[in-house]
Structure 1
Amino acid sequence: MTPSYFKFDPATRRLSLDARDPAFYRNPNAGYAAMHAGSPTFWWEEQNQWYFAGYDNVNALLRDRRFGRQITHVMSREELGWQPPQPHLADFDRAESKSLLSLEPPEHTRLRTLVNRAFVSRHIERLRPEITALCHKLIDGFEKDGGTDLLDTFAEVIPVTIIASMIGVPLDMSQQLLDWSHDYVRMYMFGKTEEDEHRANKAAREFADYVIGLAAERRAEPRDDLLSLMLQPARDGQYLTEEELVSTTIVLLNAGHEATVHQIGNAVNLILNSGLDPKSLFADSAATERTIEECFRISAPVHIFKRWALEDLEFDGISLKKGDEVGMILAAANLDPRKFPDPLEFKPSRDEGANLSFGAGIHFCIGAPLARLEMQIALPILFERLPTMRIAKPAVVKDVYHFHGLERLELEW
């Protein structure tokens, strides 16, 4: 059944859909199913641009070098018809200026090479004992209570603690990092207000000041952490500039926990509502990996990424001009029935190929190995320690799009 909020004209492939409608953001998968039934390529009227929801198209777009995350390296603001930079966003713009998420080669290649040293799988695997111990410690803290809000006591704590530890940020800064991150990512959301912009700018300024101060400490007294590593030259002798260091650290701290917080909550809620036996889902490492990947597929935390057309081109029958922006709905691509039969069904036994929750191509998520490891450790421990765990109240979905996560997940046992 097509949702009432979904208004699609098949003749023009135009879709009208309010992303702030609770009926949509609380259960976006139903809307994505309607997209696939209508047309997985469509003009989203409220967003005023073309969007792609089909698996093959999204996968191809993510890898197509005719599209990029950056556009001002090939077109001026004047050519794009943009307004001058806004003074109240100066600090945010500065923090974004050298973001790994927004650069194209050769700058992107250089920065990613410098940072990737710490995110290769063999380095991430060394975190297994630390993540395991943290999960047990957190559960020890609330097990006797007979219930908890999992987001507050578990899901939020694990990713921010681990990424802060990796980078070298003191543990007592964890709550401040969460506050900065929540305010900062408001800039990526649909329907942001001027108040959101001011809060994001303030967070960017305070975030940057903190990183600069911490970097000065590490230069004077290096440690075995990512920040100290980023301050060292690469093999070719290149260093990160101060702007690059700030932008990269902010990206790593935000991306290193924001999506994983959502994914832990989404996954636990999904599993407890599925009726499947958690013991079988986490019976061994292979079963655990399949379960986690299916959670990423059907309940992805980040739904949209965008690209700029770097030249005049045609894609899926659509003529695009240099400087046009298009959107890709990763979470909808994961539900493409042409790729995943019965896409709305949670089936950890699937063997139909990779999901696109981490993207693809040169901008594939650098933190994917860490996110996967945290999930593969945290969920089996949680269900083993609390075998009678059940949902106490229906989960509350956050009033945001295009990040999909829970506000609260109240459990009891």
Structure 2
Amino acid sequence: MTIPPFLSIERTSRHVSLDARNPAFYGNPNAVYAALHAHCPTFYWSEQKQWFFTGYDHVNALLRDRRFGRQILHIASREELGLAEPMPHLASFDLSERYSLLELEPPEHTRLRTLVNRAFVSRHVEKMKPELEELANRLIDGFADKGEVELLSAFADIIPVTMIARMIGIPEEMGPQLLKWSHAYVRMYMFGRTRADEDAAEQAAREFSDYVKTVIAERRAEPRDDLLTHMIHTEHKGQYLTEDELVSTTIVLLNAGHEATVHQIGNSVRIILDSGYDPAELFRDETATECTVEESLRIGAPVHIFQRWALEPVEIDGVSFKRGDKVSLILAAANLDPAKFTDPLTFRPDRNEAANLSFGAGIHFCIGAPLARLELNIVLPILFERLAGLRLAKTPVVKDVYHFHGLDRLDLAW
């Protein structure tokens, strides 16, 4: 496997040098992952000052390994770990994240997830199928006669945010504002974030939190049949969610409930159009559709990295970690491990190999996976059926936001 010129690998020390802002990398990260699998699947990324794992078995095991967690300050102090104090200019952002499902460990994680999980199980999500079909068709009606469309703004952006807002109980006309807040949040998780990114995220957190508090007050006064009302009025072992917990949970569900799915709709359409497969064959029935969706999730995952803290001293693949060390798991690279997937860089919807890790694994497995899968399984077949002869009108523009992977523009014609 050829090593790209912008990637430097020192095999003996397993040190890798790679600029995450290089368009040649974030535009086609799969090529880099293939080189890493061939030469250095577990590596120390010099620019990030952290160990990374790409092997399927390592990533899958570490996602489930209780010696690692999303949280560290529940068992150690900042002083003990040598961690900097929170930054005052991010006080609102930190508060909005404090009780995020993504950032907690048991028992707090168990309590919050138990209260939310019922709404996201497959049998409840399946009831949304008619709404999804109606929304997808209505959006396509708006551009079907034009012969061209920028798919993200006209379709992919709208569907996930509308559905998660309806589920939670947020007016869907808030969709454009939710997208703006969410985009500001996401930049906090990018490599090389700037003070401007932090200030934008802080403002978004303050505005988002204030808005959610007003909706919480409305639901306390007038309960409805929605997830927010359920979270407010349901107890777990005699406890109700506090207002800060409600705000954090609502924000993380709204952000996670659409950001990745927007990327995946765009990624999937691009993958299918580039594959040479006949869309009519890929979506000929429910089974074929599910296989197509899972293969597009494998080869074009929207979320690439999940991080974990070592909660105790541990050795993985010959690397020793002490309590408080951070490790990164590259989900998208694990999906391309040649030890698990034959010809891993090729889109093959008839695969019968390992399950993709795009939604994670273990206690932090994506709670919204059933909803995301339903959205993809419903809207992709409708899109390709309604727009016969769909093709790329221009080269897709990839977002410069590694470690989320998606498109800035997807111009199509038919």
TM-score of the aligned structures, taking structure 2 as reference length: 0.99
SS in 2 for 1:344: coil
Instruction: Verify the 8 A CA contact 2:26 2:405 in the aligned structure 1.
Output: yes
Q: Give the CA deviation at 1:237.
A: 3.2
Per-residue CA deviation, residues 216-264 of structure 1 (Å, 9 max, x unaligned), is: 0011111111111111123533211111100000000000000000000
In 1, the alpha carbon distance for the partners of 2:400 and 2:321 equals 32
Query: What is the distance in 2 between the residues matched to 1:398 and 1:353?
Result: 28
- SS of residue paired to 1:101: helix
Letter in 2 for 1:182: H
5+ residue gaps in structure 2?
A: none
Aligned to 1:331: 332
The answer for the alignment partner of 1:287 in structure 2 is: 288
Alpha-carbon separation, structure 1, partners of 2:220 and 2:162: 23
For 2:168, the equivalent position in structure 1 comes to 167
Match of 2:313 in 1: 312
Determine the C-alpha separation between the residues in 2 that align with 1:344 and 1:61: 24
Q: Tell me, yes or no, if the aligned pair for 2:235 and 2:241 is still in contact at 8 Å.
A: no
**What is aligned with 1:157?**
158
- The Cα shift of 1:305 comes to 0.3
Map 1:183-222 onto structure 2 (within 5 A). Answer: 183-222=184-223
Counterparts of 2:103 and 2:173, CA distance in 1: 30
Q: Is the 8 A contact 2:101 2:112 kept in 1?
A: yes
Q: Does 1:41 align with 2:66?
A: no
Matched, 1:135 2:136: yes
CA distance in 1: counterparts of 2:90 and 2:109, whole angstroms = 23
User: What's the % identity of the aligned pairs?
Assistant: 68
- Report matched runs for 1:192-271 at 5 Å: 192-234=193-235, 236-271=237-272
1:313-363 deviation line (CA, Å, top 9, x unaligned): 111111110000000000000000000010000000001021000000000
Aligned to 1:127, what secondary structure does the other structure show? helix
Q: CA deviation at 1:212?
A: 0.6
Q: Match for residue 30 of structure 2?
A: 29
Shift in alpha-carbon separation, 1:187–1:235, aligned structure 2, 3 A: closer
- Code of the residue aligned with 1:127 in structure 2: it is M
**How far apart, in 2, do the equivalents of 1:11 and 1:54 lie?**
18
Alignment length (residue pairs): 413
Match of 2:402 in 1: 401
**Aligned position for 2:273:** 272
CA distance in 1, matches of 2:75, 2:188: 24
| Structure 1 residue 387 displacement after superposition | 1.4
Q: Which amino acid aligns with 1:67?
A: F
Contact 2:53–2:329 at 8 Å: present in 1 too? Answer: yes
Match in the other structure for 2:297: 296
Q: Which amino acid aligns with 2:61?
A: A
Task: Return the alpha-carbon distance in structure 1 between the equivalents of residues 171 and 107 of structure 2.
Answer: 33
Root mean square deviation of aligned Cα = 0.7
Query: Partner of 1:343 in structure 2?
Result: 344
- Secondary structure in structure 1 of the residue aligned to 2:142: helix
Instruction: State the distance in 2 between where 1:388 and 1:112 align.
Output: 43
Query: How far off is 1:52 after superposition?
Result: 0.1
The amino acid across from 1:152 in the alignment is S
Amino acid at match of 1:168: G
Q: 3-state SS of the aligned residue for 1:243?
A: helix
Alpha-carbon separation, structure 1, partners of 2:85 and 2:333 = 34
Q: Which amino acid aligns with 2:228?
A: L
SS of residue paired to 2:143? helix
State how far apart, in whole Å, the 1-side matches of 2:186 and 2:11 are.
34
> How many angstroms apart in 1 are the aligned matches of 2:275 and 2:267?
12
Match of 1:6 in 2: 7
Aligned to 2:91: 90
Answering whether residue 64 of structure 2 is matched by residue 63 of structure 1, we say: yes
Give the partner amino acid of 1:361. G
SS of 2:120's equivalent in the other structure is coil
Q: In structure 2, what is the Cα distance between the partners aligned to 1:234 and 1:56?
A: 38
Distance in 2 separating the partners of 1:41 and 1:236: 42
8 Å contact kept, 2:304–2:330: yes
In structure 2, C-alpha distance between the alignment counterparts of 1:35 and 1:211, rounded to whole Å: 43
- Counterpart of 2:368, as a letter, is G
1:57: how far off? 0.1
In 2: Cα distance, 1:12 partner to 1:194 partner = 33
Q: 1:82: how far off?
A: 1.6
Task: Give distance in 2, aligned partners of 1:127 and 1:189.
Answer: 33
* Equivalent-residue separation in structure 2 for 1:52 and 1:161 (angstroms): 35
**Which digits, 9 at most, give the CA deviation of each residue in 1:192-211, with x for residues without a partner?**
00110010011011111011
Q: Which residue of 1 aligns with 2:384?
A: 383
Could you tell me which runs of 5 or more consecutive residues in structure 1 were left unpaired when the two chains were aligned. none
Q: Secondary structure at the match of 1:280?
A: helix
For residues 162 and 326 of structure 1, what CA distance do their matches in structure 2 show?
A: 34
Superposition TM-score, scaled by structure 1 size: 0.99
Deviations 1:282-308 (A, max 9, x none): 010000000000000000000000000
C-alpha contact 2:164 2:254 (8 A) present in aligned 1: yes
Q: Deviation digits for residues 32-74 of structure 1, max 9, x if unmatched?
A: 0011011110000000010000000000000000000000011
